[in-house]
Amino acid sequence: MKSTYKHLEHLHYKHGLMLHTGVFVFSLLVGIGIGILAFTFNAFQAKLAREEMRRYETKVMEQIVSKVEAAPLILPEKAN
């Protein structure tokens, strides 16, 4: 641990602010990368949910149509 600190301290004295800027830029790029991955994953999950909802709606509509087709046809009585 102490040698790592000494190494970082040496880099700080040698490169000054560049070390901090490099760490900041690296962290920023990692954060952007994680954000893109999270957005892509979320979009994929939303696509799967939409497809499943469409399948469910189709199934329900088919059930309704089959019940309507199976129902007896009731004709209105003729008025005399």
User: Cβ–Cβ contacts within 10 Å for residue 6, how many?
Assistant: 10
pLDDT at 57 (0 to 100): 97
Distance (Å, whole) CA 45 – CA 37: 12
Rounded mean pLDDT for each run of 10 residues along the chain, 80 residues in total: 74 69 86 97 97 97 88 66
Judged by DSSP in three states, 34 sits in helix
Q: Where are the domains of the chain?
A: 2-66
User: Is 3 in contact with 9 (CB distance < 8 Å)?
Assistant: no
pLDDT at 79 (0 to 100): 56
Distance (Å, whole) CA 49 – CA 56: 10
